[in-house]
Copies of this chain bind each other. A is one copy, B any other.
Amino acid sequence: MPEYPTAPSYPTALGASSRHEITLLGRSLADDVMGEVGFGELAFWLATQRRPTKGEARVFEAVLAALADHGFTPTAIVTRLTYLSAPDSIQGALAAGLLGGGSRFLGVTEDCGRFLHEALAGKQPDESWDDFARTVVAEQREARRFIPGLGHHVHKDGDPRTPRLFAIAREEDLFGPHLNLFAAIGRVHPEILGKTLPLNGAGVCGAALADLGLPLELLRGFALLARTAGLIGQLAEEIRNPVANDIFLSVDLNNRSVAPEPYGGQNG
């Protein structure tokens, strides 16, 4: 195995420091960032290496608020149970909760953003948004695929986050093609699918993030950032009014021992 030829170097535009200075994204951390930049704004800046406008930051923070906490989700329960087991490691409790941020419970935001982006393929439709949406919905139906962001198991008559995020994006003049297409899908899908489904909050967040020009690979990352704040809230509440042990016992005391069901081998 040959020696590595020369010392490699690792470029970064993020944090850097010398004896007297700390910079972040090319700015003085102390003078230009601390006290000057909100946390949502900073997260946007770190992810895109460009500082968002005031309107972009407001839409972005509205999305983070929409996704921060939904009560006793699996991720919240996981964080509480992990804290119960390992109270010495706050980082472990948060990390465990975030690991539930996968395809099923937190993935809709990313899936919806990607879906709209691919449908748009970088261009505005010539026709009206409603006509364009009709084609998109019909194609999905033909391929027997769900439309990400459509439907909700609780908010069957409409998810209150959706009209609110539409309104905020309009106020900030950031209602772009992804939100336009998403809204149009909401209007036209009943005539094609034969039933009326709500546009859900996770989906509208994906549409809004895509309209902000954020990297699609990271849409799930923003949902996870929002959720980190929520999980800290869950931990704070668990510390003051613990329920994790009750949750654990409600499962453990209701276990029912059954005979093994061999898998594979001669029967497999």
Residues of A within 8 A of B (CB): 1-4, 7-26, 28-31, 33-35, 37-40, 42-43, 46-50, 58, 60-62, 64-66, 68-78, 81-82, 84-96, 98-107, 154-161, 163-165, 167-168, 171, 201, 212-215, 217-218, 220-222, 224-226, 228-230, 232-237, 239-241, 243-244, 246-265, 268
Contacts and interface: CB of A to CB of B under 8 A. Distances in A.
A11 B77 contact: no
Number of copies: 4
B13 A259 contact: yes
Contacts of A2: 253
Nearest to A243: B10
24 contacts: A1-B18, A12-B255, A14-B71, A17-B70, A19-B157, A20-B158, A22-B159, A34-B65, A38-B40, A39-B61, A43-B232, A73-B85, A85-B100, A87-B102, A90-B217, A91-B102, A92-B95, A93-B99, A95-B99, A96-B99, A213-B263, A213-B264, A221-B235, A225-B232
B26 A259 contact: yes
A66 B250 CA distance: 24
**10 closest Cβ contacts across the A-B interface?**
A86-B102, A213-B264, A46-B233, A85-B100, A50-B262, A39-B40, A213-B268, A49-B260, A95-B95, A15-B71
A210 to B, nearest CB: 10
Given A98-B95, A250-B250, A215 B21 contact: no
Given A8-B247, A85-B106, 4 more contacts: A13-B261, A38-B61, A88-B88, A241-B261
Contact of A74 (B37, B89, B244): B244
A61 to B, nearest CB: 5
B81 A103 contact: no
A175 B78 CA distance: 37
